[in-house]
Structures are given as structure tokens and as C-alpha cells.
Structure 1
Amino acid sequence: MHSRESSGGGFDGAGQTHPSCSASTLTIVVGDTRFCEEKTLLVQGCDYFQALYRSGMKECRQEVLHLQSLPARGFFIAMSVLRGETPVLDGDDIVEAIQCAAFLQTSPLMKHLIDIIDSDNCLLMCHTAATFGLTELCHAAALFIRNVYADVGAEVRKAFPSELTSYVESLTPTMFVAVGAHVTCGVDKTVHPACRTICYLDEVGDSWKVLTDLPLEASTSMAGVTVLDNRLYVVGGVHGLHKQVVDSCFCYSIDTNSWNRFSSPSQLRYNLSLIGVDGRLYAIGGEYNREAMSSVETYEVTTGRWGFAAHLPRPAAGAACTKAMSRVFVCLWKPMETSEIYELLPKRDAWQLVTTLIRRQSYGHCLVGHRDNLYVIRNGPSDDFLRCMMDCYNLTSGQWSSLPGHFANSKGSLFTAVVRGNSVLTLNRSMTLEFAIENRTWKPRRQMKGFPRSGSVWTFLLQPPGALLLQ
């Protein structure tokens, strides 16, 4: 197991306790290993300990608690996650972590396990989660398997019980969806209706089909567009000949095939970056009255309220941003050669500089997250502007690496890349190209029909209801 942070204490691999516990801590004996953990951390992160301290049972007054049925390594992993660490786990770690997640009922550990699902561990995650009754984790792993079924289907049918195999095969794969970003809203009759449609790629028939129409009042021109919990959100943007700022926000549910309005940010903005993580939208930077802004606002979906978060280190419009391991990252360019990657730390309400990339005569166009890697896709030297260069930053090791070779825009607009499983889908007007990520290297895997729109394009993923694929 590897982590981006050092452990806060508890497990030293020799069955020993770290410095003696105080009144605010609890000694927990797991097997023959003793842990000393903060009671507040345990109660806030684990339903098991929350229920224990509310029960009034004698155990809640003891200074030492024995949990003999749990693996010590799994408990150590659970505590690491509760302290905010993001450990990378191997197969044995995963099994023990799932066992502890089921017993302790700890949501942060469950969320972390979902974040690290990949092609190497998805079968183990799905089967083990089903065994221990973690339905949320089982579903997430099953959906990942369904998206890579061409690669792992034979192994699933061989290793899984029939009920679990049937469940995986009952799911529908995630769709690659696109919408043109140069769309004028309102009643402008000069705009062709086809430009105001959101389309999905029928990968079996190799054709683009209409999923839904944009609302008349909505615009994706210089708007923020993202997907959160399988809903599409459109925030801000401009419309009309005079580029007025759109003062309404829209949400599309693919489950009901319907649009709804929701409240706008306190500061109207366009050319913003929008990303969704953990039930929140983040409207990052952008412009108003042609001035770049550094302000950031968050929208809590459950409450329907906007609030301000920490400002960016400097004003930025159209900044490249992504999420990886449920963490939000933004790439800010500094003339002439520097790209800085910052991470938003919600608990501290601050942006933290993660790393800096210096490349001569280039700047970042796109930021893509896959597992614990961040890929910066940028233009090449000034004498070869159409050349796409790629660099990879590993969050766990803190190391940069340059990907061999290069990609030209003629082979797909990498500036619209989205990740599905271990693949990256990109497009332009002539082709949709799927890359397979193998050892941090992108290799062309499959070519499909291009998206027949001019101008910039937004791309994203949506999970369709089963009925859609039966039509």
C-alpha cells in the first residue's frame, strides 16, 4: 500500500502502539495490533463508532476496545483514509479494506475504494463487495466492468457466480455525449435547429444520434458544462449578437429526459470552468464584462444553494480543470512557458500548488485525470501549433513523465478528451478516436465516426436508462 501522505499513527507493522493515548483518544485492539485513534475521527467517519457512543453500552466507556474479527491491515487502511490520505491498494489490501468498510460502515473508505476502481481490480472489487454486502461499491465496480466488457467479459463469466454475471450484463454501458459549444440561444432563426442538439455516439452502429434538444433559453457558448451524478449541468455563457451573459442555469436528467432550471451563481460569469465532485458543482473563474475573475462558487445540489469558495491564486478564464481521485485540479498558465497545477482543498478552503510544468513555447489546453495520474495536453512549439504534446504527473509519486511520440489534431481533438474505464475518447469532425491507456501511454485503439459540428465541442459521459438502448 502506498499513500501520498505519511500515516498519522496507529499501525507500525509490529503490533505496537504509537505514543500513549489521551482522554480524547481510544485504544483499539485489532488481532494482536493496538491502535491509538482520535475518538472524534472515529465517530465522524464510522457509523459503527457513532452508534457505539450513542448506545450508552459499557463499551463506550472503556479505554480499550477489542475488534478481533477484523484484519489489522484493513483497519490501518481505514484510519489512513479517515485522516485524509489516498492510499493506492493492492489485491490483499482491497479485500481487507472492503471487510473493514462493511463492518465499520465508513463512507470515506467506501468512496475511496470507488475512486480507485480500475481494470486490474474491478473484478475483485465487485465480487468482494457483493460478498460483504456493499451494494454501492458493487454497483460502481459492475458499471466499470460493463464499460470494459469486451476486455474482461470472458473472465467475468468464468469467475463470477451466475447472479452477479447477470447483474453486470443487465447494466448499460456509459455513453459518449457531445454538444457544440458555439450555440446562440433565444429565438434567433438563423441558427439551424441541429446545432441546438445534444448527441450521443451509437458505437455499435457507428453513428451520432440526438439525445435531447437544448432549452431555448440555454446557451453553451462560453458556458460551463459538466456532468455530476449522471446529470448534465449548464452554467453561465453568453447569447445574442451583443454577447449578453446568460442569467439562468439548466440541468438535464437522462433518466427522465427532462430539463430543469436552477439558481445562478451570485456572480454571473462566462468562459468559466465547471466541474462536479461529491454532490457539488464548482464554477471556477471565468469572465464578466471582459475581465477575468479569480472567484470560485460552489453549488450544493441537495440544498440548491450557491456559496463562495477560496479564490484562485490569480484570475483565469477558460482554465483547464479535471478531477482525479475525487479531487479537483486546475491548470493555470503563466506566460510564456509555465503551467501550474493547483488542487482545491475543501476542508481548508484553499488552493494548493501541486506541481509546475515548464515547457518551451507551449501552454496547457486540457487536463485529464485517470486513476492517480494527471495528463496535461498542450500545443507544441510555435512553429508547429497543431502538434499535441502530453505530459503525465503522478499524484502518488510526485513525478512527471513525458509521453513518447505526439498526436496531431488531425487524429482527433485531444482538447476534448474524456475518460471511460481505461480508455480516452476524443473527437473532431472527421473521426472519434479511442485511446487505450497502458502504463501511462496512450495508444490508438479504435476509430469511429466524427462529430459533424464546426467550432468547439463539449464532450462528457452519461449513463443511459436501459430503455434507451432498446429503442
Structure 2
Amino acid sequence: MTSMLVQVEEKSFSVEKTLLVENSEYFRALFESGMKESRQDEIKIQGLTNEGFCLMLSILRGERPVLSCDEIIFAVECAAFLQVKSLTKYLINSVNSENCLVMFEAAATYGLLDLFHTAALLIRDIYSKLENDLDCLPEDLISYIESLVPSTLVAVGAHSPKPEFLEDCSRTVCYLDQQQNKWKTLTKLPDEASTSLAGITVLDNKVYIVGGVCGVNKQAVEQSFCYDVSSNTWSKFPSPQQLRYDLALTSKEGYLYAIGGEYERTLLASVEKYEVSSKVWSFGSHLPQPAACTACTQTMGRIFICLWQPLDTTEIYEYETNKDKWLLIATLKRSQSYGHCLVSHRDNLYIIRNGPADDFLRCMIDRFNLTTLQLTTLSGQYVNSKGALFNAVVRGDTVLTVNKMLTLMYSIEENRWKPRKECTGFPRGGTVHTFLLRIPKKVLHSEADLIYFEKHL
């Protein structure tokens, strides 16, 4: 494997040539140009900081550094100058409430459009929190942020496909209008769709429903459904090759991942991924063990699940999609307790589990930090009124939880979740699926939807 020296400012780096060619459009073009630099063992790059180049190399080699504000600017400059997509992706996955303004301004300066848009979306979601800090931005950048649609909490109950002879006005997907403190109808479920024991996820602001059951015999639903909120329309797409229900469904970079589940009362270990562009399902690496109702989350561009072993043991696995490999990253032992829900915030995973012994009205929350690899238990216990905490989603620095009685929001703090705000509960009983969508104003104010809402809810 050929190495070469790359001089940036006063510092020289010994780098594998293939690493640069595979990851940088700049170096790929340089080495394929036939220019004299392409045949040299040492080249010098002008107009770039050695700090940015060093950060790029560390990320290309698989490291995950936590970037300071100055390092963000160096890294953004390097990603734009050398056209390094994997560095840009790392920056996108690192956007949070503390660095989003720096990411946004740097991306605007150096022309990284995907990072620019991602940072702007987060700023839009936490606009009120950052409003006093936005004065430092040029007016055109503020206008861009304000033109975006903030994310909205959306929920749907567990519904089986509707028999032709039965009208079921409750089969609706609803969103929380926080200003009016009301749940309103967004769309009706297709008659054939099931959300009972189905997998539901969001990709590119579209809702995907896979699996589910109909009837008391838990017959697997053979069709999958997609809701495009921008056009307010539903469409069908193929189901996995192995029919399944009670699965975990997540999405990443143009793919859906159907993880485990059950079929004909048999637990499954199989995993399938669906390429949205080609509409094709293919099998991936099996789970370490068969599992249904698997807790799953994503953070920083990484997929995580919880599996439960005998003897009060919870194991946290990461699914490395580029290697199609499951990696055990932590083991949690808690007497007479098991996990129900997994959510994430920055580099922390939160495992939400029932309280001591059989006290299911209270929850305990354990935090696993991906940087330090340390497990800690958050202080206090959390009231879990009829399963609210078991459908938690995170928006910005806020956890949103839902049940029929109330919608409760928590601020994520260092050692606890602090109750922040209460809204009205979801107007349905039973299991609730929750997720976030960016709903265009034309859909929010659809006359048909408003009429339907007033009539049936």
C-alpha cells in the first residue's frame, strides 16, 4: 500500500494514497489528472489548515472526535476544500443545539449545502431557545431558517385493517398543535393498513409502515404503506421477503431496516433492508438472537438496539450498516427489570425500563455514553402513566412522551430529565406510535382534514 507525504502549512502527514483517493474528490481528480503532482511522493496543499487536515484523517480512520467550535470551522473548511463526503457526513451527524449556529455559519461560508440545511432545520426546531443568539446572523440566513417548517409531534394508535362493512373513524394519524393544545387529524390510514404490531419509521419526511397484524389470530399483513406528507398522499410498497410483525423498523441514508419480529408466533432473528430507490428488499446479518418488540434508536448516524437475555440482562448492540455487522457495546444488569424503550440524545443512549420488581407505574432510566462507554442511572424515578415513557421521541433537547391522559415534555439535563411542559393527551387508548414530521402549512390547513377532525374527534 503506497504512502505519501502531504504538507499542509508547516506540518507534513504520511498518508496512504488509496485513503485519499477513495474519500476525496480533490485527490481523486489530482491523481487521475496526469499532472506532475500525481507522480510525486510529496505534495503541498495551499489554503488549508493543518488542524482541519488532521481532523479529516482521524475521521477517515474511524475515530469519532468531539469537535470544539474552532475544530468545526477547520473541519468544514477541509471538507469543502478537499470535497470529502465522509467528513461532511460526520459533521452532519454531529450537529446539536450547542454547535448548530457554528455549523450553520461555517457551512454557509464554505458552501456545504447538506450541512447548511441540516443545521438550519435544528435551529428551526429550537428557534425560541436560540432566538437571542440569532442577531449575529445575516438577514438572509435568518430568513432561510424562518422559511423552514419545524418538526411536529405525530402519533397513531394501534389499528388493524378495517373490514369493508365497518366504519372506523378512529383510524387516523394525528399531530399535536401545541399553540391550541389540541391533537388534530393529519390523515386517515388506508383501509388495508395495520399499525397493530407494525414497524413505523420516518425517512426523508415520509412515514413508512411495515408489517403488523390483522385478526385475533395475528395474521401478518402482506402489504407495506408510505405516507408522503408533502403531497398528503399514501402509496404501497413491497413487504419484506420474510413477513413479520412486532418488528423494529428504522431508516438511514435511503434504506429501511426491518429488524427481527415474529411470524406465526415464532421469534425471528432475520434482518432485511429496503432500498427505497430500487424498491428491493435484501437480507442482512442476523441478530445475535431471535427477538421481537426490539427497542431501537439512532444517534450520530449510528443504529442501536437492546436485546434482553436471561438473568435480568440487557445487551446494547450497534448495527454497523457499512459492514453489515452487529457489535455488542454494553451490558446492563438490573434485578427484576427489563427495558421497554431506547432513545438517544447526542452521544448518549437512554434505556427506559420498568421500576423495581413489578412496579410498572414508575420507570428507571439508564444512560450509556458512547464517548466514554460509561453506564450511569439517572437520578430519581419517572412516573410512567400507562406507558407514556415507552414511546418517547427526542426533538432538540426535549423528550416528548404521550399517552391518553397527557403529553409530557422533559428537558434533558446532565443527570436527569426535568419535566418542562404538559399538553393534552392523545385521544386514543392502547398502544401509541409517536414520531416527528415536518408538516407543510398547506397540509396543516387542509380544509378536508379540518372538517374530518371536527366531525370525528
Same fold? TM cut 0.5: yes
Q: 1:132 aligns with which of 101, 106, 110?
A: 110
Does structure 1 retain, via aligned residues, the 8 Å contact 2:186–2:444? Answer: no
1:193 aligned residue: 169
1:22-77 residue CA offsets vs partner (Å, 9 max, x unmatched): x5223211111111222222222222122222322222222112113111111111
Does structure 1 retain, via aligned residues, the 8 Å contact 2:5–2:41? Answer: yes
Does structure 1 retain, via aligned residues, the 8 Å contact 2:162–2:168? Answer: no
1:146 aligned residue: 124
Taking the aligned partners of 1:415 and 1:336, their CA distance within structure 2 comes to 22
Does structure 2 retain, via aligned residues, the 8 Å contact 1:275–1:321? Answer: yes
Deviation of 1:470 (Å): 5.8
2:223 aligned residue: 248
1:303 aligned residue: 278
Deviation of 1:114 (Å): 1.3
1:173 aligns with 2:124: no
2:452 aligned residue: none
1:337 aligned residue: 312
2:420 aligned residue: 445
1:328 aligned residue: 303
Amino acid at match of 1:327: R
Taking the aligned partners of 2:16 and 2:57, their CA distance within structure 1 comes to 10
CA 65–467 in structure 1, closer or farther in 2 if over 3 Å, else same: farther
1:155 aligned residue: 133
After TM superposition, list the pairs within 5 Å mapping 1:109-124 onto structure 2.
Answer: 109-124=87-102
Taking the aligned partners of 2:137 and 2:387, their CA distance within structure 1 comes to 37
After TM superposition, list the pairs within 5 Å mapping 1:79-90 onto structure 2.
Answer: 79-90=57-68
Say which SS state the counterpart of residue 102 (structure 2) adopts. helix
1:18 aligned residue: none
TM, length-normalised to structure 1: 0.92
Amino acid at match of 2:163: V
Amino acid at match of 1:93: E
2:177 aligned residue: 202
Q: 2:259 aligns with which of 281, 284, 292?
A: 284
Deviation of 1:469 (Å): 4.9
After TM superposition, list the pairs within 5 Å mapping 1:384-463 onto structure 2.
Answer: 384-410=359-385, 413-463=388-438
Amino acid at match of 1:207: K
After alignment, is 358-367 or 66-75 more displaced? 66-75
Deviation of 1:386 (Å): 1.5
Taking the aligned partners of 1:108 and 1:263, their CA distance within structure 2 comes to 31
Does structure 2 retain, via aligned residues, the 8 Å contact 1:278–1:326? Answer: no
Aligned length: 446
After alignment, is 283-292 or 103-112 more displaced? 103-112
Does structure 1 retain, via aligned residues, the 8 Å contact 2:5–2:42? Answer: yes
Taking the aligned partners of 1:242 and 1:401, their CA distance within structure 2 comes to 41
Deviation of 1:467 (Å): 3.0
Say which SS state the counterpart of residue 415 (structure 1) adopts. helix
Q: 1:108 aligns with which of 86, 89, 106?
A: 86
After alignment, is 349-358 or 402-411 more displaced? 402-411
1:12 aligned residue: none
1:184 aligns with 2:190: no
Gaps in structure 1 of 5+ consecutive residues = 1-22
Taking the aligned partners of 1:215 and 1:150, their CA distance within structure 2 comes to 36
Gaps in structure 2 of 5+ consecutive residues = 447-457
CA 24–286 in structure 1, closer or farther in 2 if over 3 Å, else same: same
1:368 aligns with 2:349: no
Does structure 2 retain, via aligned residues, the 8 Å contact 1:412–1:432? Answer: no
Q: 1:347 aligns with which of 303, 322, 326?
A: 322
Say which SS state the counterpart of residue 347 (structure 1) adopts. coil
Taking the aligned partners of 2:360 and 2:164, their CA distance within structure 1 comes to 35
2:202 aligned residue: 227
1:164 aligns with 2:141: yes
Q: 1:237 aligns with which of 212, 216, 224?
A: 212
2:449 aligned residue: none
1:32 aligns with 2:7: no
CA 66–374 in structure 1, closer or farther in 2 if over 3 Å, else same: same
Q: Cα RMSD over matched residues?
A: 1.5
After alignment, is 460-469 or 419-428 more displaced? 460-469
Does structure 2 retain, via aligned residues, the 8 Å contact 1:272–1:285? Answer: yes
Does structure 1 retain, via aligned residues, the 8 Å contact 2:318–2:327? Answer: yes
Amino acid at match of 1:166: S
1:358 aligns with 2:326: no
TM, length-normalised to structure 2: 0.94
1:50 aligns with 2:28: yes
Does structure 1 retain, via aligned residues, the 8 Å contact 2:230–2:443? Answer: no
Taking the aligned partners of 1:180 and 1:167, their CA distance within structure 2 comes to 35
1:16 aligned residue: none
Deviation of 1:188 (Å): 5.1
Does structure 2 retain, via aligned residues, the 8 Å contact 1:428–1:451? Answer: yes
Deviation of 1:347 (Å): 3.1
1:387-422 residue CA offsets vs partner (Å, 9 max, x unmatched): 100000000000011111111122971110111111
After alignment, is 392-401 or 58-67 more displaced? 58-67
Does structure 1 retain, via aligned residues, the 8 Å contact 2:218–2:264? Answer: no
CA 265–42 in structure 1, closer or farther in 2 if over 3 Å, else same: same
1:380 aligns with 2:358: no
